[in-house]
Structure 1
Amino acid sequence: MKIFKEKLGRILASIALVVVLLGGVVGYTAWYHLFREVPITYASPEEHFKYGSIGTEPSQGVPYWIWLVLPRIFADKLPHPGGYTALGITWEEGKETPVGFTKKTIGFPRVGITCAVCHTATYRTSPLEKPHIFPAGPSSKFDLQGYIRFLGATAKDPRFNADSILDEIKYNHEFSWIENLLYRFLIIPQTKKALLKQDADFAWMNSRPNWGPGRIDPFNPVKFNTLQLPQDDTIGNSDMMPIWNQKLHQNFALHWDGLETSLKETVQTGAIGDGATKDSLPVADLQRVEDYITELSPPKYPFTVDEKLAAKGSQIFASNCASCHAFGGERTGTVIPVDEVGTDRHRLDMWTQQAAETYNHFGDGYPWDFSQLRKTDGYVSVSLDGLWIRAPYLHNGSVPSLQDLLAKPENRPKTFYRGYDVYDSQKVGFVSEGEEAKRVGFKYDTSVAANSNQGHTYGTDLASDDKQALIEYLKTL
């Protein structure tokens, strides 16, 4: 009997060991294929800005192989041929992802967005030229709303299933048997579920005017989705901003309405707005972004400048514009009451005192806690560094060129096309009319709510020759 008990004990111990080992193998396999996080590092600050993670992948990342094939399966849901570039996305030759998109492995490779997706400017001199790319400038062509809607539309389509997606992935990548099982029964179904939830979370967009390329409603998503505040009927549609040259922007109010005064908080809230969570916010990586945009100078105007005319324009600028727009100007970087500047107030009204107070408590208990968010009564008198590539103009991007901005509001274009990055050096802006601009671009109608091109009448009374001289000078900033 004693011998039997000893043998039984050894058998049970062996079984227990096998169970533990099998459990360990299963646990390790699950961790490796679903949760293992592989850091990504770029030595170049510019590459880090364009492709480095800002913490969006855990909650918002789309599995890379699924993301890669969606435009091929669902080409009919894009505005025109070209894959993701049809949404105004810039793809550098030889890169796995476009500018502003990062590929990071968390169990499996995932694609998330970065600051650069909205803050990278481009221009071309002709339709066939490759784009010139300027990190930290404002995108004039990326359609973020279109991208969100595209992902949602694919998830609603019956073709979003394991058979269709896995068959398409085979053209690019061969999964192992375990990866194939995970994608078929877990990753693809969960991605579909997540994209449907994201689509529902952004359903509030459908009751408001479309953003169009180069524009974003930056804080309603934060109010409704991040802070879980009650939905209202505000419209925050506004142009994407340049974020370069911060070394000369110290103590400036930040964002169009000056709702922030801390650059560090602005970078961190930007990552949260893009999909990072409290636990995924990569503070050290975001510090690299802050350091980069602090030292980065804006690009110089690439075309010929009439130096004599620009010298005359410099004097006109000093007399008419410098107090609000020159570095060192007494009002530069401060908030000007909306009643004075007269521009569309929808973006201002979108941000509320309740939102500011709630966001200031969002990070309570975390080392990166916020405290500088606020509510203001107007728009910031921005500096004009790199102005030549910041078209369209005004905070809502309602005026296509500098030439149009110096016209009286009633004479500014009432409709035009934005999202086409071929440059118009005569008007100082992007080509905004004609067949190609119409084909590629978004029709901007200034009669639509939040799209008004009124206000900012400064300089509109200048003589025609003085306006031309001023524009020539503004090219040099």
Structure 2
Amino acid sequence: MARKDHAHPRARHWLIWLALLLALGAVVATIGWYKLFREVPQHFDDVEAYYRYGSIGTEPEEGLPYWVWRVLPEVFPQHLPEDAEDAGYAALGVAWEQGEPTPVGFSLKTLGFPRIGINCAACHTATYRTSADGERRIVPAGPQQTFDPQAYLRFLGEAAADPDFTADTLLAAIREETELSWLDRLLYRFLIIPRTRDGLLEQAEQFRWTEERPRWGPGRIDPFNPVKFHPDLLALDPAEDDTIGNSDIMPLWALDEQEGYALHWDGLNDAITEVVLSGAIGDGARPDSLPVEALGELEAYLRELAPPPYPFDTRDDQMAARGKVLFEETCAGCHGPEGARTGTVIPQSEVGTDRHRLAMWTAEAAERYNAYAEAYPWDFDAFVKTDGYVAKPLTGIWLRAPYLHNGSVPTVEDLLRPAEERPVVFHRGYDVYHPDRLGFIHEGEAAERHGFRYDTRQPGNGNAGHEYGTELPAQDRDALVEYLKTL
């Protein structure tokens, strides 16, 4: 005999409703994951394209909604540099290739929705022109001269603090660029835009300490104070630290020739892999978002990448040959490939250059960084505290202007003069190259209009020290400059 189902009809109804609610919850969760967290892999034809536009893991924590980011300069042009002649993000000095959705050094990746993040190329990509009306040439892994990271951060913070940073205003601007679905419009209105505003205001507060110190300016950054003061990284207190780490951006090319050398300006690490990984963390990645395998491929690319040759045909080969002899006699011990001191830390008391950068990096910061990723297989253990600056090999020296660790000397010609004869004030950030002086044009109307006024009398900007070669006769200095063009 069949058994009767004695379940109460009301109970069966509750079970049906519960099943429906669970199914609805699953649908909502799936949609939420798809629209907010789904990760779409990037694809590039080669490693150079990845270097320029690939993700280094900054999007989950520091990434901005692409369409919000895209329209900010149009909605808030008043918060861009007042004296800039270029419009949009170009006013901040970014290198933007025609047809690309982002500038070089900015990755576009979908994590639920399209997000934009910074990568290494934002700072480590050089540009130069051989004349004011010449083509702007982009050099991967070279030191940026035009991008002003601090001005970029300030623009984002000031835009977020503007009363017009509202869903109505931004969605109207986005509508001019792309058509969002009705669901995306709801997400942007009630979640993405409000959260973006809060995040940018929080970021601006985290960088408030920079307002009390000299401006970075284009082509420079304080590389480790932001890491020290970030609440999720080393978490030191900026209120108890008035150090100035303002530093010229370094090239990343030819890393293989620096194997075993002290790295960074002050030699705070000598492991290339750790420098690559910590650079990504400094840009906003976190240990669990680092694409370690992809960064390994990037490291291999940078190890072999060579800088471009000096682009002018005005070099005097006979004078350069004499300059090579002078280089071997006066410079090669610290800067030649076989130099006994090449790649080593030269005490600041000897080299005499501005010591503010050295005060910025502390033994406590090194200890905390070494302990930062202990739970991960790649880990850090090579961070140290030093009291000097590294004697670097001079590969591609022509494109590394301005010179010294803080970018305080505009040309090699000036660097070979005693400190009291070097420019006290000049303009940096104009990428038209001077064919003879081994440096960018830094004076005159065009440099003033396009550049940033650099005053060597400000703290951290001193141009004293490194007076090696300054005692040479003028003709020998000229010969040395000619030879350096060949490196």
TM-score class, shorter-chain normalisation, is over 0.9
Q: Which residue of 2 aligns with 1:149?
A: 154
- 2:261 equivalent to 1:252: yes
Amino acid at match of 1:251: G
223, 229, 232: which one aligns with 2:228: 223
2-structure distance, mates of 1:299, 1:384: 13
Return the letter of the residue paired with 1:253: A
Q: Deviation per CA, 1:398-445, whole angstroms, max 9, x where unpaired?
A: 000111111111000000000110111121111101122111111000
Deviations 1:361-394 (A, max 9, x none): 0001111210000001100000100000000000
Query: 2:410 is matched with which residue?
Result: 400
Cα shift readout 1:160-191 (whole Å, capped 9, x = no counterpart): 10011000001111111100000001000000
**SS of residue matched to 2:176:** coil
Asked if the contact 1:53/1:285 (under 8 Å) is kept, the reply is: no
State the AA in 1 paired with 2:439: G
Deviation at 1:282, TM superposition (A): 1.4
Question: For 1:432, which of 442, 446, 450 is the aligned residue?
Answer: 442
Structure 2 residue aligned with 1:168: 173
Say yes or no: does 1:140 pair with 2:145.
yes
Q: 1:360 aligns with which of 352, 365, 370?
A: 370
Counterpart in the other structure of 2:95: 90
Distance in structure 2 (CA, Å) of the matches to 1:248 and 1:3: 81
Match of 2:320 among 293, 310, 315: 310
Match of 1:461 among 471, 474, 481: 471
Q: 1:240-287, CA deviations, whole angstroms, 9 ceiling, x for partnerless residues?
A: 001110111111100000000100000011001000112111111211
C-alpha distance in 1, partners of 2:138/2:483?
23
User: Does 1:27 pair with 2:29?
Assistant: yes
Structure 2 residue 164 is the aligned partner of structure 1 residue 178: no
Higher alpha-carbon deviation: 3-12 or 182-191? 3-12
Partner deviation per Cα, 1:108-139 (whole Å, 9 max, x = no partner): 11100000001001101223333111101100
1:38-58 deviation per Cα after TM superposition (whole angstroms, max 9, x unaligned): 111323111111111111001
* In 2: Cα distance, 1:297 partner to 1:454 partner: 30
Which of 263, 270, 273 aligns to 1:264? It is 273
1:242 matched residue in structure 2 = 251
Residue type at the aligned position of 1:49 = Y
Partner of 1:298: 307
Q: Give 1:7 shift.
A: 4.3
Distance across 2 between alignment mates of 1:328 and 1:85: 42
Q: CA deviation at 1:16?
A: 2.3
Shift of 1:5: 3.6
Q: Which moved more, 1:335-344 or 1:16-25?
A: 16-25
Residue 29 of structure 1 deviates from its aligned partner by 0.7
Pick one of 339, 342, 345 that aligns with 2:352: 342
Q: 3-state SS of the aligned residue for 2:49?
A: helix
User: Which stretch of the first structure deviates more once superposed, 394-403 or 41-50?
Assistant: 41-50
* DSSP-derived class of the 1:122 partner: strand
Q: Any idea what SS the aligned residue of 1:37 has?
A: coil
Partner of 1:422: 432
CA distance in 2, matches of 1:3, 1:138: 78
Q: Specify which of 55, 58, 61 is matched with residue 60 of structure 2.
A: 58
> Which region of structure 1 is more displaced relative to structure 2, 184-193 or 37-46?
37-46
Identity of aligned residues (%): 56
Q: Paired residue for 1:276? A: 285
Partners of 1:309 and 1:472 within 8 A in 2: yes
Tell me, what secondary structure is at the counterpart of 1:280? Answer: coil
TM-score normalised over the length of structure 1 = 0.98
Q: Determine the structure 1 residue equivalent to 2:47.
A: 45
Equivalent residue of 2:372, what SS?
coil
TM-score (norm 2): 0.96
What is the distance in 1 between the residues matched to 2:246 and 2:404? Answer: 12
- 1:391 is matched with 401
Contact 1:415 1:444 (8 Å CA) reproduced: yes
Read off the aligned partner of 1:342 and give its amino acid letter: G
Q: Greater CA deviation, 126-135 or 229-238?
A: 126-135
Q: Deviations over 1:74-129 (max 9, x none)?
A: 11111124211111100011111100000011111110000000100110122333
Structural RMSD (CA): 1.1
Q: What residue identity is the alignment partner of 1:459?
A: G
Give the CA deviation at 1:4: 7.6
> 1:6 offset after TM fit, Å?
5.7
Q: Which amino acid aligns with 1:21?
A: A
**Matched-pair contact (CA < 8 Å) for 1:34–1:107:** yes
